[in-house]
Amino acid sequence: MAEELPDIRYRPAAGRGRSHTDWLDGAHSFSFADYQDPEAMGFGNLCVINDLIGPAAGFSMHPHRDMEIITYVLSGRQEHRDSMGNGSIIGAGDVGVSLRLHHALAAPRSCSSIWRRQRPARRGGNGCAWPPAVGPDGPSGTPRQRGRKRPACR
């Protein structure tokens, strides 16, 4: 049985919450951090879209409980690690997915981050990363890297 999603509501950029810090240039579609809108608490299990996380000194290890964090690296590199020292580094053009993992960011880098709440059956997994594949669909038909449809989970 398919999950029913809430109605889609148009939200122009001017009506979205904004965050400008040394690490985040965000236009929030949903409530996040200091921006709280009771009418915009998420969409289904999608709860955060951080448009642009800029270069920063990085974060110390910190958890994201019951969240699946999808990261698209625009430039630089990002390191994903768990509390046992397992992990990988993803670079520009790569997508990484963390399930109940800690992550640290390797600066300088720029990325976009999407968070979704895990369904109970998905909880307790490891991280996944989409290895890059080359496709001829960049500007002027030049190859660019893109993620595969199926993640290689560790």
Place of tokens 């800029």: 54
pLDDT of 6 reads: 67
Return left, alpha or beta for 29; rule: phi > 0 is left, psi -120 to 50 is alpha, else beta: alpha
**Residue 90: closest CA among 72, 117, 102:** 72
Cα(134)–Cα(150) distance, integer angstroms: 15
Residue 102 and residue 129 in contact, taking contact as beta carbons nearer than 8 Å? no
Determine the pLDDT at residue 99: 61
Architecture of domain 16-153: Sandwich (2.60)
pLDDT of residue 150: 40
What pTM was estimated for this model as a whole?
A: 0.61
CA distance 50 to 70: 10
**What is the predicted pLDDT for the residue at 13?**
78
Q: Which two tokens stand for residue 117?
A: 């709440």
- What are the extents of the domains in the chain? 16-153
Q: Which residues contact 91 (CB under 8 A, 6 or more apart)?
A: 73, 76, 77
How far apart (Å, rounded) are the C-alpha atoms in residues 33 and 20? Answer: 12
Average pLDDT per 10 consecutive residues for the chain, totaling 154 residues: 69 82 78 84 83 62 71 80 70 76 59 77 44 45 44 38
Per-residue pLDDT, 138: 45
8 A C-beta contact, residue 69 and residue 129: no
